[in-house]
Amino acid sequence: MSASAAAGGTVGHIRHVLSENPVTGLSFGLFGLLVLTAILGPSLVPYDPLASSDAALAAPSAKHWFGTDNLGRDVFARVVVATRLDLGMAFAAVALVFVTGTLAGVAAGFLGGWTDRIVGRVTDTIMAFPLFVLAMGLVAALGNTIANVIYATAIINFPIYARVARTEANIRREAGYIEAARLAGASTLAVMLFEVLPNVLPIMMVQVSLTMGYAILNTAGLSFIGLGIRPPTAEWGIMVAEGAGYIVSGEWWIALFPGLALMLAVFTFNLMGDGLRDIVDPRRRT
């Protein structure tokens, strides 16, 4: 099969999956909107998200769509600009744990022995702590920088990826196609990478979408309690924390709109799970 035919088949398969389930299509549409907002949003917002003004605590209006905060900063501009930071940190953390956790889990499940014991001890050690508390401790010890928040988010999600990948690899280690690859002379590494890993990816892609939502919540949660990104950076968790104290006095918009953006992002990634599984699952291709 030529490369162009294979690419056309892949595009057709993706189109079929998206059209078959309207909810999946909606989730990918919302995902595209979030990505465009993250890429183009900071250059399109009408106000500087860090610039204060005299219009402090102004209610939503035609001039300030989401109102202003206690320093007169435009809430709409800050919500839009924060999308790039929150999504970027979540993507980085999930990409890191996806690669390390999946490879470690596949190696543990397929090879067994000391590899399985080492990976098992690492995952057990991490899961011995409440995960958010562990993330708090790591960021507090290492410093609340963007890189450390990413590392902490990846570490607390490592056991999920490693255990799921280990289970899937362990199930498939004695499958017929694995034995056929061995008889054909493939090395152990080649069997793991080209036979086991592609068949583990569908379930891991579902986990990716779920972990994205959790990674966003984890980042926002750390910022909310003061251990994440530092003010005055525009970040959803910081904005919710800053606006929480003004809800009682009636300035509800300061916390509401970043909270809605956070909810929309988590909702989108949770819905994407089934669609991602169908797209990457080799058994779904016809």
Q: Which residues contact 175 (CB under 8 A, 6 or more apart)?
A: none
pLDDT of amino acid 11: 66
Placement of tokens 């507090």 in the chain: 140
Question: Torsion over CA of 34, 40, 42 and 47, rounded to 10 degrees?
Answer: -100
Quote the pTM value: 0.84
What value, to the nearest 5°, has the Cα angle with vertex 160 and ends 157 and 164? 150
Helix (H) or strand (E) holding 13: helix 3-20
Instruction: Give the DSSP letter string of 155-205.
Output: HHHHHHHHHHHHHHHHHHTT-HHHHHHHHTT--HHHHIIIIIHHHHHHHHH
Pull the structure tokens for residue 213.
């939502």
CA 206 to chain centre: 11
Placement of tokens 């990846």 in the chain: 154
**Helices 3-20 and 253-280, interaxial angle, to 10°?**
130
pLDDT of amino acid 1: 47
Placement of tokens 């169908």 in the chain: 278
Question: d(Cα 283, Cα 10) in Å, to the nearest integer?
Answer: 13
Domains, the chain, with CATH or none: 22-284 (1.10.3720.10)
Q: Which residue, 220, 205, 212, is CA-closest to 165?
A: 205
pLDDT of amino acid 200: 86
Secondary structure letter of residue 18 according to DSSP: H
pLDDT of amino acid 54: 85
Q: Which residues, given as ranges, of the chain have pLDDT below 70?
A: 1-14, 16-19, 21, 274-275, 277-286
Cβ count near 111 (within 10 Å): 15
Question: d(Cα 114, Cα 145) in Å, to the nearest integer?
Answer: 35
Instruction: Give the DSSP letter string of 41-70.
Output: HHHH-SS-TT---S-TTPPS-SSSTT-B-T
What are the beta bridge partners of residue 80?
Answer: none
pLDDT of amino acid 13: 61
